[in-house]
């Protein structure tokens, strides 16, 4: 068998023969244009990797339940995508070595080609879950799909690629929201008969804490030297914030009762995960949320940095693709948000010390029991809010092949230790669904 070489594996010769530009002849390509081509090609390669990682993460989260041991893999994929995007953003520095005049020397030959026709960027948006209704119009007839057609409206490989991706549902946003919807909130499952009331109780207590924080802030402001009008304006602003938080958490904007319930539960799950992240079984799910935020932030920064680079190189003229150029790009950076709930929740989170205690923090601790004790495993102590220790938080003994039915018995504090909980719980996608379906223990102290 022929031995592998660097060039045969990396395909160096093939790669280096791809910079021929419009005529396919590198001799006719200036240094500036070679730079322009190479930087775009490098981006497309990064996009390829981002897509692979996003699809992997999406596929993990489309499972029900999400296997616990794979949750860290999903976080790794999301974080790798963010790192790539951040790295890619720095390549715009290289592009900016192209002056306006340098670019104008070959720009006209590129019309009507445009980065707008980057199929992989569209694929990334689709895998993430960007809603087509939110797209900023390019400023010419037809959708972004029309722009992917070849001369004379013929289909192109890029169009076929995007169409395949459109058919490949669900998106990362959809699977994440399904998973959030299934999250047990303070011990209550979406499928439990009393779940609506439990979620409402959780949200009302949280909103009480949120309003309390606003009051405390106003009280602090009162003592400062402000005019009565200023104080009143500030009070109104805080009151509006409190009202907005309530309307958001109860998903009042959603007219359909079923969808409102779903949205409310997703938002409540986010508040729950973010607020009580010290509970052992919430720590990985909360990492997932953080990794998604990091990813979307990196993507927004990609858009913003691209727009600033474009402004520097071509000013505010019309783009080769026919859009309003920088104005169009700025609008996409401003408007394209996929994980809106994740961002919105950040506006209303409160300090840890202000959080209301949970009814069932013990259900979110790693469960073990006799076996753990026999093997001298350590209790790692309180994991709830600082004012209230989570009971029964013990190092988990989990067997990877344990079934959901045998986990069920482990929900009660002190239940048999042979039950695997740690690994099953947070995966459940309603992580720990199986576990938590057992009747809750005697009600612990509540804020009521
Ligand atoms: C001198 C360099 C560049 C200029 C002047 C430029 C300019 C523009 C303009 C004006 C648009 C808006 C669409 C249009 O009317 O054409 C656009 C879109 C786009 N460009 Fe660039 N670009 C440059 C480099 C790059 C690079 C290096 C990439 C790397 C991938 C890139 C990727 C994109 C993408 C993906 C879009 C579509 C954005 C969207 O629709 O959301 N561009 N570019």
Which pairs count as long-range contacts for 160-165, CB under 8 Å and 24+ apart, including other chains?
A: 161/119, 161/120, 161/123, 162/119, 162/122, 162/123, 162/126, 165/122, 165/123, 165/126, 165/127
Rounded to two decimals, the pTM is 0.84
Instruction: Enumerate domains of the chain plus CATH numbers.
Output: 6-171+292-333 (1.20.58.480), 177-285+348-353 (no CATH), 357-448 (no CATH)
* C-beta of residue 368 within 8 angstroms of C-beta of residue 160: no
pLDDT at 355: 98
Nearest CA to ligand 1 atom 19: 115
Radius of gyration of the chain (CA): 27
pLDDT at 141: 60
The rounded Å distance from CA 213 to ligand 1 centre is 44
pLDDT at 65: 87
Q: Rounded to whole angstroms, what are the CA distances from 85 to 58, 180, 240, 293?
A: 18, 26, 36, 13
Taking alpha carbons only, the member of 372, 373, 390, 439 closest to residue 194 is 439
Best of 38, 107, 115, 162 to mutate for ligand 1, by most ligand atoms within 8 A of CB? 115
pLDDT at 130: 96
Ligand 1, pocket residues at CB < 6 Å = 39-40, 43, 95, 98, 103, 114-116, 118, 121, 306, 310, 313-314, 319-323, 325, 328-329, 332
The rounded Å distance from CA 152 to ligand 1 centre is 23
The rounded Å distance from CA 122 to ligand 1 centre is 13
Q: Rounded to whole angstroms, what are the CA distances from 192 to 198, 440, 445?
A: 9, 12, 22
- Rounded mean pLDDT for each run of 10 residues along the chain, 448 residues in total: 92 98 96 98 98 98 87 96 97 97 95 94 98 85 86 93 96 97 96 97 98 90 75 90 98 97 98 96 95 98 98 94 92 96 97 96 73 35 30 26 30 31 40 41 34
CA 326 to ligand 1: nearest atom: 10
d(CA 395, CA 408): 18
Nearest CA to ligand 1 atom 17: 115
pLDDT at 223: 63
d(CA 137, CA 259): 28
Residue 188 β-bridge partners: 185
Structure token digits, residue 181: 């919807």
Nearest CA to ligand 1 atom 4: 310
CA 116 to ligand 1: nearest atom: 37
Residues 6+ apart with CB under 8 A from 104: none
């Amino acid at each position: 068998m022929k031995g592998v070489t660097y060039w045969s594996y990396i395909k160096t010769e093939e790669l280096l023969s791809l910079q021929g530009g419009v005529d396919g002849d590198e001799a006719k390509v200036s240094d500036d244009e070679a730079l322009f081509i190479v930087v775009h090609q490098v981006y497309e390669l990064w996009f390829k990797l981002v897509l692979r990682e996003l699809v992997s993460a999406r596929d993990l989260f489309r499972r029900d339940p999400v296997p616990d041991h794979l949750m860290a893999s999903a976080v790794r994929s999301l974080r790798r995508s963010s790192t790539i995007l951040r790295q890619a953003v720095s390549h715009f520095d290289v592009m900016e070595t192209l002056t306006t005049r340098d670019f104008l020397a070959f720009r006209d030959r590129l019309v009507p080609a445009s980065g707008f026709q980057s199929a992989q960027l569209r694929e990334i948006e689709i895998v993430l879950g960007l809603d087509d209704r939110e797209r900023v119009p390019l400023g010419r007839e037809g959708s972004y799909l029309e722009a992917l057609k070849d001369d004379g409206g013929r289909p192109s490989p890029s169009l076929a690629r995007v169409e395949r991706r459109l058919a490949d549902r669900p998106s990362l946003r959809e699977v994440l929201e399904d998973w959030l919807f299934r999250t047990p909130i303070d011990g209550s499952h979406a499928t439990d008969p009393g779940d609506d009331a439990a979620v409402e109780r959780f949200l009302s207590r949280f909103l009480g804490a949120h309003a309390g924080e606003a009051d405390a802030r106003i009280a602090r402001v009162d003592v400062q030297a402000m005019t009565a009008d200023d104080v009143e304006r500030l009070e109104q602003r805080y009151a509006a914030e409190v009202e907005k938080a309530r309307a958001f958490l109860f998903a009042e904007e959603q007219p359909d009762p079923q969808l409102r319930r779903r949205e409310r539960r997703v938002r409540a799950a986010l508040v729950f995960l973010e607020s009580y992240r010290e509970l052992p079984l919430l720590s990985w799910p909360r990492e997932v949320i953080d990794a998604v935020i990091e990813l979307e932030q990196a993507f927004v920064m990609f858009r913003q940095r691209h727009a600033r680079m474009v402004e520097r190189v071509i000013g505010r003229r019309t783009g080769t693709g026919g859009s309003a150029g920088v104005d169009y790009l700025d609008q996409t950076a401003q408007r394209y948000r996929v994980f809106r709930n994740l961002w919105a929740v950040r506006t209303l989170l409160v300090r840890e010390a202000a959080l209301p205690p949970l009814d069932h923090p013990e259900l979110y601790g790693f469960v073990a029991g006799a076996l753990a004790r026999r093997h001298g495993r350590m209790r790692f102590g309180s994991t709830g809010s600082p004012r209230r220790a989570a009971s029964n938080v013990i190092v988990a003994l989990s067997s990877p092949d344990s079934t959901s039915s045998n986990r069920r018995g482990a929900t009660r504090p002190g239940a048999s230790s042979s039950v695997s909980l740690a690994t099953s719980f947070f995966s459940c996608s309603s992580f720990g669904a199986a576990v938590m379906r057992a009747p809750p223990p005697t009600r612990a102290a509540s804020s009521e």
